Amino acid sequence: MLSRKNQDTPEQKVLDILERNRINIAATLPCDRIKALLVLVEKNIKTISLTREENGVGICAGIYFGGGRPIMVIQSTGLGNMINALLSLNLTYGIPLPIIASWRGVYKESIEAQWQFGKRLPEILSASGINFTIINSLDEIDRLDEAIKESFRSLHPHVILMSPAVWEGSISEAPQTQEISPRNVILEFNRTIQKPELTRYEAIRTITETIGDDLIVSNLGIPSKELYEIRDRDLNFYMLGSMGLVSSIGLGLAIIQKKHVYVIDGDGSLLMNPNALISIGNYEPDNLTIIGIDNAAYGSTGNQATCTQNQVDLELLARASGINNTAKAHSHHVLVEALRSKVGFIHVIVKPVNAKCKEIPFSAARIKESFMKALQSS
């Protein structure tokens, strides 16, 4: 039970608004000014700790698809890491996302590195077509409620820029510090990369033949077109942009609902955003399999080489990120076996060949709506 004093804090008022709006998941990355808010949020709402804000956009999209009501709570600088994702995912498909951003760089700001982005932020958001509300003091806190409602009503992200003035004088609790856990770190890893027997098209065909009615979230570019051509169905989510976020969307979906989620990711995309794997390793839902299809190339843009060609091993990267249950496949039967065992990460070695496929004829809104409807009725 909270004391009367705590109920009057600005942080508690924010939490009350979140609860009133049935927010059930918060994706967070800290700012000093909201450290007390984050303590309260974490105590009362299921919280996903991010390692990069952009991943929160993907995770929250997956949560929304699965019927959840997510929010992000971050420092305003993180919006600089999110603009492409907000436009190519949320604005493109029509996905709501309220974002509480601790607005740095403007009010009593001593850190010079905050000034440039902070002062331009309202113009950056306006120019990007992202709705936002500024809250300058506690008196204006009801605007948070309006902004959250607006986001879910309009199916549009809405940034709430919260001035540090809101929290001034608050007596809320600061976080408890925790030391690193003493532990042995043992990684035994010995693998052979074998010559690929499959193309990506053949690997995707193997996936669709093996996974039954489970969900597929598919990477942008040619993989989605190949999947569409091989087996179009409403339980496929085709990503059209937001490179690097497909596994984050899969994580959000796996967290919020029970069906197994297979993510078709690519080596270029995983290497663009490897810290998506760290969040997956942190939560490791057992209904999520990331399939890293590795053609050692940015296939969709003309097969330019990536660092998996002779340097990085994606399975080892997944292991190092905390995903314990992994496999490697270079042929049809090894891939089938790995898919059937529903491991967390499958590194699929394929030839750098793109099938000639037609465009997916659906709008982004149609892809989202059919996927959500099929998921609800499955």
Ligand X SMILES: Cc1ncc(C[n+]2csc(CCOP(=O)(O)OP(=O)(O)O)c2C)c(N)n1
Residues that bind ligand X (CB under 6 A): 84, 200, 219-223, 243, 266-269, 293, 295, 297-301, 306
- Closest CB 352 distance from ligand X, rounded Å: 8
User: Cα separation of 20 and 30, whole Å?
Assistant: 23
- Closest CB 350 distance from ligand X, rounded Å: 9
Query: Which is nearer to ligand X, 222 or 261 (by Cβ)?
Result: 222
Q: Which residue is nearest to ligand X (CB)?
A: 266
Query: Which is nearer to ligand X, 250 or 266 (by Cβ)?
Result: 266
CB burial string 55-65: b at 16+ within 10 A, e below: bbbbbbbbbbb
Q: Which phi and psi angles does 159 have, rounded to 5°?
A: -90, 130
Query: Which is nearer to ligand X, 147 or 323 (by Cβ)?
Result: 323
User: Cα separation of 191 and 195, whole Å?
Assistant: 13
Query: Which is nearer to ligand X, 166 or 348 (by Cβ)?
Result: 348
How far, in whole angstroms, is CA 225 from its chain's centroid? 22
- Closest CB 299 distance from ligand X, rounded Å: 3
User: Cα separation of 137 and 141, whole Å?
Assistant: 7
- Closest CB 306 distance from ligand X, rounded Å: 6
- Closest CB 298 distance from ligand X, rounded Å: 4
| Gyration radius of the chain's alpha carbons | 22
Query: Which is nearer to ligand X, 83 or 372 (by Cβ)?
Result: 83
CB neighbours of residue 123 within 10 Å: 9
Comparing C-alpha atoms, which of 140, 129, 131, 130 is closest to residue 163?
Answer: 140
Query: Which is nearer to ligand X, 220 or 375 (by Cβ)?
Result: 220
- Closest CB 322 distance from ligand X, rounded Å: 21
State the angle between helix axes of 364-377 and 53-65 in degrees (0 to 180), rounded to the nearest 10: 60
Would you say 306 and 271 are in contact if contact means Cβ atoms under 8 Å apart?
yes
- Closest CB 76 distance from ligand X, rounded Å: 21
- Closest CB 23 distance from ligand X, rounded Å: 29
Query: Which is nearer to ligand X, 301 or 341 (by Cβ)?
Result: 301
Looking at the DSSP bridge assignments, the partners of residue 32 are none
Query: Which is nearer to ligand X, 81 or 172 (by Cβ)?
Result: 81
CA distances from 344 to 5, 260, 269, 365, 372 (A): 45, 11, 17, 29, 23
User: Cα separation of 263 and 260, whole Å?
Assistant: 10
Query: Which is nearer to ligand X, 98 or 223 (by Cβ)?
Result: 223
CA distances from 120 to 90, 102, 117 (A): 22, 15, 5
The bridge status of strand 297-298 relative to strand 304-305 is: antiparallel
Q: Give 3-state DSSP helix, strand, coil % of the chain, rounded to 5.
A: 45, 15, 35
- Closest CB 255 distance from ligand X, rounded Å: 23
User: Cα separation of 254 and 284, whole Å?
Assistant: 9
Tokens linked to 50: 């991010």
